Amino acid sequence: MRERIRETFKKGGGIFRMVPNFVPVRFGAPGHRLKLHPDDYFAYGAESGTIMERWFCTVSGTRVKNDRRPDQGLSYVLGADGEQFLFRDAVAELREELIGEQLQEKYGTFPVFAKFFDYDTPLYFHFHPADEVAKKVGCEAKPECYYFPPQLNNHPGRRPSTYIGFNSGVTKEDIRECIEHFGDYDTHITKYSRAFDLEIGTGWYIPAGVVHAPGSLLTYEPQWGTDLNCVLENVVCGEVFDERYMTDICPESEENKTDYIMDAIDWETNFDPAFKEHYFRPPVKLETKQEGVTEKWVCYGNDYITSKEVTIEPGVETVLTDKAAYGCVIVQGFGKFGVYEAEAVNLMRVGQQTADEYFVSKDRAVAGVKIINNSKVEPMVLLQHFGPDNAVYIK
Protein backbone atom coordinates (compact mmCIF):
# COMPACT_ATOMS: atom_id res chain seq x y z
CA MET A 1 0.00 0.00 0.00
CA ARG A 2 2.79 2.43 0.90
CA GLU A 3 4.44 1.85 -2.47
CA ARG A 4 1.17 2.38 -4.32
CA ILE A 5 0.50 5.66 -2.50
CA ARG A 6 3.99 7.03 -3.14
CA GLU A 7 4.10 5.90 -6.76
CA THR A 8 0.74 7.58 -7.43
CA PHE A 9 1.87 10.75 -5.66
CA LYS A 10 5.07 10.87 -7.71
CA LYS A 11 3.44 10.12 -11.06
CA GLY A 12 0.76 12.72 -10.38
CA GLY A 13 3.36 15.40 -9.69
CA GLY A 14 2.02 15.93 -6.16
CA ILE A 15 -1.63 15.79 -7.25
CA PHE A 16 -4.12 13.01 -6.56
CA ARG A 17 -7.04 12.23 -8.84
CA MET A 18 -9.98 11.43 -6.60
CA VAL A 19 -12.81 8.91 -6.90
CA PRO A 20 -16.42 10.24 -6.73
CA ASN A 21 -17.75 9.85 -3.18
CA PHE A 22 -21.54 9.72 -2.88
CA VAL A 23 -23.53 9.75 0.36
CA PRO A 24 -27.16 8.56 0.59
CA VAL A 25 -29.60 10.24 2.97
CA ARG A 26 -32.77 8.79 4.50
CA PHE A 27 -34.78 12.02 4.61
CA GLY A 28 -35.70 14.89 2.31
CA ALA A 29 -36.13 14.80 -1.47
CA PRO A 30 -33.38 14.96 -4.12
CA GLY A 31 -32.89 18.06 -6.24
CA HIS A 32 -31.50 16.03 -9.20
CA ARG A 33 -28.66 18.51 -9.85
CA LEU A 34 -25.65 16.31 -9.00
CA LYS A 35 -25.25 15.21 -12.67
CA LEU A 36 -26.05 11.69 -11.46
CA HIS A 37 -27.74 9.18 -13.77
CA PRO A 38 -31.49 8.99 -12.96
CA ASP A 39 -31.23 5.23 -12.34
CA ASP A 40 -28.53 5.61 -9.67
CA TYR A 41 -30.21 7.57 -6.88
CA PHE A 42 -30.78 4.32 -4.95
CA ALA A 43 -27.52 2.69 -6.02
CA TYR A 44 -26.67 1.66 -2.44
CA GLY A 45 -30.08 0.13 -1.77
CA ALA A 46 -33.40 1.72 -0.87
CA GLU A 47 -32.82 1.12 2.83
CA SER A 48 -29.65 3.26 2.66
CA GLY A 49 -31.59 6.25 1.36
CA THR A 50 -31.38 8.49 -1.69
CA ILE A 51 -28.07 9.87 -2.95
CA MET A 52 -28.28 13.60 -2.32
CA GLU A 53 -24.69 14.47 -1.38
CA ARG A 54 -21.25 14.17 -2.92
CA TRP A 55 -18.27 14.61 -0.60
CA PHE A 56 -14.84 15.85 -1.71
CA CYS A 57 -11.41 14.91 -0.35
CA THR A 58 -12.54 13.73 3.07
CA VAL A 59 -10.81 11.62 5.71
CA SER A 60 -14.05 11.54 7.75
CA GLY A 61 -16.82 8.97 7.48
CA THR A 62 -20.48 9.71 8.15
CA ARG A 63 -21.73 9.74 11.74
CA VAL A 64 -24.79 7.74 10.65
CA LYS A 65 -23.41 4.27 10.06
CA ASN A 66 -24.38 2.03 7.16
CA ASP A 67 -23.80 -1.70 7.63
CA ARG A 68 -23.63 -2.16 3.87
CA ARG A 69 -20.99 0.58 3.54
CA PRO A 70 -18.66 0.76 6.56
CA ASP A 71 -16.51 3.24 4.58
CA GLN A 72 -19.45 5.57 3.85
CA GLY A 73 -18.27 9.15 3.47
CA LEU A 74 -14.57 8.31 3.10
CA SER A 75 -12.83 9.49 -0.07
CA TYR A 76 -10.66 7.27 -2.26
CA VAL A 77 -7.75 8.10 -4.57
CA LEU A 78 -7.35 6.51 -7.99
CA GLY A 79 -3.94 4.83 -7.93
CA ALA A 80 -1.44 4.96 -10.77
CA ASP A 81 -2.10 1.25 -11.34
CA GLY A 82 -5.86 1.76 -11.55
CA GLU A 83 -6.50 0.44 -8.03
CA GLN A 84 -8.01 2.66 -5.33
CA PHE A 85 -6.80 3.51 -1.84
CA LEU A 86 -8.25 5.59 0.97
CA PHE A 87 -7.37 9.29 0.98
CA ARG A 88 -7.10 8.92 4.77
CA ASP A 89 -4.31 6.34 4.29
CA ALA A 90 -2.52 8.66 1.87
CA VAL A 91 -2.60 11.50 4.41
CA ALA A 92 -1.28 9.16 7.12
CA GLU A 93 1.54 7.96 4.87
CA LEU A 94 2.65 11.24 3.25
CA ARG A 95 1.95 13.55 6.18
CA GLU A 96 3.56 16.98 5.69
CA GLU A 97 4.62 16.01 2.13
CA LEU A 98 0.93 16.13 1.26
CA ILE A 99 -0.75 18.58 3.62
CA GLY A 100 2.17 20.73 4.82
CA GLU A 101 3.89 21.08 8.18
CA GLN A 102 1.33 23.41 9.78
CA LEU A 103 -1.65 21.09 9.36
CA GLN A 104 0.38 18.00 10.17
CA GLU A 105 1.77 19.43 13.41
CA LYS A 106 -1.53 20.86 14.67
CA TYR A 107 -4.11 18.37 13.38
CA GLY A 108 -2.23 15.33 12.06
CA THR A 109 -4.60 15.23 9.07
CA PHE A 110 -6.45 17.36 6.52
CA PRO A 111 -9.15 18.63 8.90
CA VAL A 112 -11.70 19.96 6.39
CA PHE A 113 -13.61 18.71 3.39
CA ALA A 114 -16.27 19.98 1.00
CA LYS A 115 -19.54 18.61 -0.29
CA PHE A 116 -22.36 19.26 -2.70
CA PHE A 117 -25.71 18.85 -1.01
CA ASP A 118 -28.64 18.65 -3.36
CA TYR A 119 -32.08 18.79 -1.73
CA ASP A 120 -35.30 19.79 -3.46
CA THR A 121 -36.82 20.43 -0.04
CA PRO A 122 -35.23 22.66 2.63
CA LEU A 123 -33.20 21.08 5.41
CA TYR A 124 -34.35 21.09 9.03
CA PHE A 125 -33.64 23.95 11.46
CA HIS A 126 -30.56 22.78 13.35
CA PHE A 127 -27.17 23.74 14.74
CA HIS A 128 -23.74 22.20 15.15
CA PRO A 129 -22.45 22.43 18.72
CA ALA A 130 -19.14 23.97 19.76
CA ASP A 131 -16.11 21.85 20.63
CA GLU A 132 -16.78 21.47 24.35
CA VAL A 133 -20.18 19.90 23.59
CA ALA A 134 -19.24 17.95 20.46
CA LYS A 135 -16.22 16.30 22.09
CA LYS A 136 -18.46 14.68 24.72
CA VAL A 137 -19.88 12.45 21.96
CA GLY A 138 -16.59 11.96 20.11
CA CYS A 139 -16.93 14.78 17.57
CA GLU A 140 -15.69 18.32 16.97
CA ALA A 141 -17.34 21.64 16.24
CA LYS A 142 -18.51 22.09 12.66
CA PRO A 143 -18.16 25.61 11.26
CA GLU A 144 -19.25 25.60 7.64
CA CYS A 145 -19.46 27.78 4.55
CA TYR A 146 -21.96 27.87 1.71
CA TYR A 147 -21.57 28.82 -1.93
CA PHE A 148 -24.24 28.48 -4.62
CA PRO A 149 -22.52 27.68 -7.94
CA PRO A 150 -24.39 28.82 -11.08
CA GLN A 151 -23.30 25.74 -13.02
CA LEU A 152 -25.29 23.41 -10.74
CA ASN A 153 -28.41 25.44 -10.02
CA ASN A 154 -30.56 25.03 -13.10
CA HIS A 155 -33.64 25.11 -10.84
CA PRO A 156 -34.13 26.54 -7.33
CA GLY A 157 -35.98 23.71 -5.56
CA ARG A 158 -39.00 24.25 -3.35
CA ARG A 159 -37.61 26.94 -1.01
CA PRO A 160 -34.44 28.78 -2.06
CA SER A 161 -34.14 30.67 1.21
CA THR A 162 -32.41 29.86 4.49
CA TYR A 163 -33.62 30.49 8.03
CA ILE A 164 -30.75 31.68 10.23
CA GLY A 165 -30.76 32.64 13.92
CA PHE A 166 -33.64 34.14 15.93
CA ASN A 167 -35.73 37.26 15.51
CA SER A 168 -35.48 40.07 18.02
CA GLY A 169 -38.16 39.75 20.68
CA VAL A 170 -37.95 35.96 20.73
CA THR A 171 -37.23 34.61 24.21
CA LYS A 172 -35.29 31.59 25.35
CA GLU A 173 -38.55 30.28 26.81
CA ASP A 174 -40.09 30.32 23.33
CA ILE A 175 -37.31 28.03 22.11
CA ARG A 176 -37.39 25.89 25.25
CA GLU A 177 -41.08 25.18 24.67
CA CYS A 178 -40.33 23.95 21.14
CA ILE A 179 -37.58 21.66 22.45
CA GLU A 180 -39.76 20.27 25.24
CA HIS A 181 -42.59 19.48 22.79
CA PHE A 182 -40.45 18.17 19.94
CA GLY A 183 -42.26 14.81 20.00
CA ASP A 184 -45.76 16.13 20.68
CA TYR A 185 -46.84 18.34 17.77
CA ASP A 186 -45.51 20.53 14.96
CA THR A 187 -43.79 23.30 16.90
CA HIS A 188 -43.30 25.59 13.85
CA ILE A 189 -40.00 26.71 15.37
CA THR A 190 -38.95 28.62 12.24
CA LYS A 191 -41.60 31.24 13.05
CA TYR A 192 -39.01 32.50 15.56
CA SER A 193 -36.33 32.87 12.86
CA ARG A 194 -35.75 35.03 9.79
CA ALA A 195 -35.23 33.73 6.26
CA PHE A 196 -32.75 35.15 3.77
CA ASP A 197 -33.32 34.63 0.04
CA LEU A 198 -30.35 32.79 -1.45
CA GLU A 199 -28.41 34.44 -4.27
CA ILE A 200 -26.69 32.25 -6.84
CA GLY A 201 -22.97 33.07 -7.02
CA THR A 202 -22.78 34.18 -3.37
CA GLY A 203 -22.41 32.41 -0.03
CA TRP A 204 -22.49 32.46 3.79
CA TYR A 205 -20.37 31.52 6.77
CA ILE A 206 -22.23 29.70 9.56
CA PRO A 207 -20.32 29.40 12.86
CA ALA A 208 -20.86 26.49 15.25
CA GLY A 209 -23.81 27.09 17.58
CA VAL A 210 -25.85 29.07 15.04
CA VAL A 211 -29.26 27.63 14.14
CA HIS A 212 -30.03 27.43 10.44
CA ALA A 213 -32.34 25.67 8.00
CA PRO A 214 -30.56 25.59 4.62
CA GLY A 215 -32.62 26.34 1.54
CA SER A 216 -33.11 24.27 -1.59
CA LEU A 217 -30.35 25.53 -3.89
CA LEU A 218 -27.63 23.03 -4.64
CA THR A 219 -24.95 24.08 -2.19
CA TYR A 220 -21.18 23.76 -2.26
CA GLU A 221 -20.28 23.43 1.42
CA PRO A 222 -16.67 23.55 2.60
CA GLN A 223 -16.77 22.49 6.25
CA TRP A 224 -14.83 21.17 9.21
CA GLY A 225 -14.30 17.42 9.03
CA THR A 226 -17.01 16.29 11.42
CA ASP A 227 -20.68 15.34 11.20
CA LEU A 228 -22.85 16.20 14.23
CA ASN A 229 -26.22 18.00 14.29
CA CYS A 230 -28.83 19.05 16.81
CA VAL A 231 -32.16 19.26 14.99
CA LEU A 232 -34.71 21.65 16.50
CA GLU A 233 -37.39 21.43 13.78
CA ASN A 234 -39.57 18.34 14.04
CA VAL A 235 -41.71 18.68 10.88
CA VAL A 236 -40.27 19.80 7.53
CA CYS A 237 -42.49 19.91 4.44
CA GLY A 238 -44.71 17.29 6.07
CA GLU A 239 -41.82 14.97 6.97
CA VAL A 240 -41.67 14.11 10.68
CA PHE A 241 -38.31 13.72 12.46
CA ASP A 242 -37.69 11.48 15.43
CA GLU A 243 -36.48 12.99 18.72
CA ARG A 244 -33.11 11.24 18.32
CA TYR A 245 -32.24 13.83 15.66
CA MET A 246 -32.38 16.45 18.40
CA THR A 247 -30.73 14.51 21.24
CA ASP A 248 -27.82 13.12 19.21
CA ILE A 249 -25.52 15.74 20.75
CA CYS A 250 -26.36 14.61 24.31
CA PRO A 251 -24.14 12.09 26.14
CA GLU A 252 -26.02 8.95 27.17
CA SER A 253 -25.56 9.87 30.82
CA GLU A 254 -27.24 13.26 30.38
CA GLU A 255 -30.68 13.24 32.05
CA ASN A 256 -31.80 16.85 31.51
CA LYS A 257 -31.51 16.96 27.73
CA THR A 258 -33.54 20.16 27.35
CA ASP A 259 -31.17 22.22 29.51
CA TYR A 260 -28.19 20.57 27.84
CA ILE A 261 -29.41 21.56 24.37
CA MET A 262 -30.35 25.07 25.49
CA ASP A 263 -26.85 25.57 26.90
CA ALA A 264 -25.28 24.39 23.62
CA ILE A 265 -26.89 27.16 21.54
CA ASP A 266 -24.79 30.28 20.85
CA TRP A 267 -27.48 32.76 21.89
CA GLU A 268 -25.42 35.90 21.30
CA THR A 269 -24.64 35.11 17.67
CA ASN A 270 -28.16 33.86 16.97
CA PHE A 271 -29.59 37.20 18.12
CA ASP A 272 -27.03 39.29 16.19
CA PRO A 273 -29.16 42.05 14.57
CA ALA A 274 -26.49 42.51 11.88
CA PHE A 275 -26.09 38.82 11.09
CA LYS A 276 -26.14 39.28 7.31
CA GLU A 277 -23.61 42.09 7.52
CA HIS A 278 -21.27 39.84 9.52
CA TYR A 279 -21.76 36.46 7.83
CA PHE A 280 -22.99 36.94 4.27
CA ARG A 281 -20.19 36.28 1.77
CA PRO A 282 -20.39 37.98 -1.62
CA PRO A 283 -17.56 36.91 -3.94
CA VAL A 284 -14.36 38.97 -3.72
CA LYS A 285 -12.22 39.15 -6.83
CA LEU A 286 -8.45 38.82 -6.42
CA GLU A 287 -6.06 41.15 -8.17
CA THR A 288 -5.58 39.94 -11.73
CA LYS A 289 -2.42 37.87 -12.18
CA GLN A 290 -2.97 36.92 -15.81
CA GLU A 291 -5.30 37.96 -18.60
CA GLY A 292 -8.05 35.38 -19.07
CA VAL A 293 -7.92 34.07 -15.49
CA THR A 294 -10.29 35.20 -12.73
CA GLU A 295 -9.94 34.18 -9.09
CA LYS A 296 -12.60 34.97 -6.48
CA TRP A 297 -12.77 34.19 -2.79
CA VAL A 298 -16.22 32.77 -2.20
CA CYS A 299 -15.77 31.45 1.36
CA TYR A 300 -13.63 33.52 3.74
CA GLY A 301 -13.63 35.49 6.98
CA ASN A 302 -13.09 32.67 9.48
CA ASP A 303 -10.22 30.70 11.02
CA TYR A 304 -11.22 27.31 9.62
CA ILE A 305 -12.14 27.08 5.94
CA THR A 306 -11.72 29.11 2.76
CA SER A 307 -12.79 28.50 -0.81
CA LYS A 308 -11.95 30.03 -4.14
CA GLU A 309 -13.64 29.98 -7.54
CA VAL A 310 -11.22 30.05 -10.48
CA THR A 311 -12.29 30.73 -14.07
CA ILE A 312 -9.94 30.14 -17.04
CA GLU A 313 -11.18 31.54 -20.33
CA PRO A 314 -11.24 29.46 -23.55
CA GLY A 315 -7.83 28.60 -24.92
CA VAL A 316 -5.95 30.05 -21.94
CA GLU A 317 -3.01 28.30 -20.27
CA THR A 318 -2.07 29.33 -16.73
CA VAL A 319 -0.15 28.28 -13.65
CA LEU A 320 -2.35 28.47 -10.56
CA THR A 321 -0.38 29.09 -7.35
CA ASP A 322 -1.65 28.92 -3.77
CA LYS A 323 -0.21 28.94 -0.25
CA ALA A 324 -1.68 25.66 1.01
CA ALA A 325 -2.87 22.20 0.05
CA TYR A 326 -6.41 22.01 -1.29
CA GLY A 327 -9.14 19.83 -2.70
CA CYS A 328 -10.90 20.94 -5.85
CA VAL A 329 -13.70 20.06 -8.25
CA ILE A 330 -14.15 21.22 -11.84
CA VAL A 331 -17.72 22.40 -12.43
CA GLN A 332 -17.44 23.61 -16.01
CA GLY A 333 -15.26 22.96 -19.05
CA PHE A 334 -12.38 20.63 -19.90
CA GLY A 335 -8.64 20.63 -20.44
CA LYS A 336 -5.55 19.74 -18.43
CA PHE A 337 -5.04 19.93 -14.67
CA GLY A 338 -1.40 19.22 -13.92
CA VAL A 339 -0.56 15.90 -15.61
CA TYR A 340 -4.22 14.90 -15.82
CA GLU A 341 -6.84 15.22 -18.53
CA ALA A 342 -9.66 16.96 -16.69
CA GLU A 343 -13.30 17.71 -17.41
CA ALA A 344 -16.51 18.67 -15.65
CA VAL A 345 -19.17 15.99 -15.40
CA ASN A 346 -22.16 15.91 -17.75
CA LEU A 347 -23.62 12.63 -16.46
CA MET A 348 -22.03 10.09 -14.12
CA ARG A 349 -22.79 6.61 -12.87
CA VAL A 350 -22.11 5.38 -9.35
CA GLY A 351 -18.99 3.22 -9.45
CA GLN A 352 -17.52 4.86 -12.54
CA GLN A 353 -14.54 7.19 -12.53
CA THR A 354 -14.74 10.89 -13.36
CA ALA A 355 -12.01 13.42 -14.15
CA ASP A 356 -13.32 16.39 -12.17
CA GLU A 357 -11.98 16.00 -8.60
CA TYR A 358 -8.37 16.43 -7.39
CA PHE A 359 -6.30 16.99 -4.28
CA VAL A 360 -3.21 19.19 -4.59
CA SER A 361 -0.32 18.86 -2.13
CA LYS A 362 1.15 21.85 -0.31
CA ASP A 363 4.40 21.95 -2.29
CA ARG A 364 2.63 21.55 -5.63
CA ALA A 365 0.18 24.32 -4.72
CA VAL A 366 3.07 26.67 -3.89
CA ALA A 367 5.02 25.74 -7.02
CA GLY A 368 1.87 26.01 -9.11
CA VAL A 369 -0.47 23.75 -11.06
CA LYS A 370 -0.43 24.11 -14.84
CA ILE A 371 -4.00 24.34 -16.14
CA ILE A 372 -5.02 24.49 -19.80
CA ASN A 373 -8.53 25.21 -21.01
CA ASN A 374 -8.83 23.24 -24.23
CA SER A 375 -12.26 24.56 -25.15
CA LYS A 376 -12.56 27.13 -27.91
CA VAL A 377 -15.81 28.54 -26.53
CA GLU A 378 -16.42 27.61 -22.88
CA PRO A 379 -14.72 28.75 -19.65
CA MET A 380 -13.11 26.18 -17.37
CA VAL A 381 -14.29 26.75 -13.77
CA LEU A 382 -13.07 25.05 -10.62
CA LEU A 383 -13.81 25.35 -6.91
CA GLN A 384 -11.00 24.95 -4.37
CA HIS A 385 -11.34 24.37 -0.62
CA PHE A 386 -8.54 25.04 1.89
CA GLY A 387 -8.01 24.39 5.58
CA PRO A 388 -7.03 26.72 8.45
CA ASP A 389 -3.50 27.20 7.11
CA ASN A 390 -4.95 29.45 4.42
CA ALA A 391 -7.39 31.63 6.41
CA VAL A 392 -8.43 34.76 4.54
CA TYR A 393 -9.95 37.92 6.01
CA ILE A 394 -11.26 40.68 3.79
CA LYS A 395 -12.35 44.11 4.97
Return the pLDDT at 213.
98
Tell me the per-residue pLDDT of 10-60, one tens digit each, with 9 for 90 and over.
Answer: 999 999 999 999 999 999 999 999 999 999 999 999 999 999 999 999 999
Residue 289 has pLDDT above 90, yes or no: no
Say whether pLDDT at 353 is over 80.
Answer: yes
pLDDT given at position 66: 82
- The CA distance from 15 to 9, in Å, is 6
Q: Report d(CA 241, CA 374) in Å as an integer.
A: 48
The residues near 3 (Cβ < 8 Å, ≥ 6 apart) are: none
pLDDT at 324: 98
Instruction: List CB contacts of 318: < 8 A, sequence separation 6 or more.
Output: 290, 292, 293, 312, 370, 371, 372
What is the C-alpha separation between 185 and 181, in angstroms, rounded?
A: 7
Q: What is the pLDDT of residue 65?
A: 80
DSSP state, residue 241: -
- Are the C-beta atoms of 15 and 364 separated by less than 8 Å? yes
CA distances in angstroms from 90 to 54, 86, 364, listed in the order given:
20, 7, 16
Q: What is the pLDDT of residue 323?
A: 97
Q: What are phi and psi of 320, to 5 degrees?
A: -90, 120
Nearest Cα residue to 193 out of 115, 122, 244 = 122
pLDDT in tens, 158-193: 999 999 999 999 999 999 999 999 999 999 999 999
Q: What is the pLDDT of residue 48?
A: 93
